[in-house]
Amino acid sequence: MYPGQRFFGRGGGRGRRNWYYATGLTGWQRASMGMPAFDGAYPYAPEMTPKQEADILKNEADILKKQLEDIQSRIETLEKAQGTKSE
């Protein structure tokens, strides 16, 4: 038998962890008050203007170009190192 199985462990089994201690209310009290399971979500972010989106995409393209250049440079370095070792 594993600890926590069939309420013999401290956890009391799945889904029964600290219900009273977390809220200060028993199960029937929480249910009658209609306490939500989750807090309200943040509202949606406002939409971007086309200019803002274009600027973001240009910035992302520049970053990707730089990363591609770095990758190609590393490939060339490895190929040169491999070519000198095989000769």
pLDDT digits (tens, 9 = 90+) for 50-77: 999 999 999 999 999 999 999 999 999 9
Produce one character per residue of 19-50: b if its CB has 16 or more CB atoms within 10 Å, e if not: eeeeeeeeeeeeeeeeeeeeeeeeeeeeeeee
Question: Is residue 4 within 8 Å of residue 13, measured between CB atoms?
Answer: yes
pLDDT digits (tens, 9 = 90+) for 5-37: 555 555 555 555 555 556 666 666 666 555 555
Among candidates 12, 41, 40, which has minimal Cα distance to 27? 12
Task: Determine phi and psi for 64, rounding to 5 degrees.
Answer: -65, -40
Question: Which helix (H) or strand (E) element contains residue 58?
Answer: helix 50-86
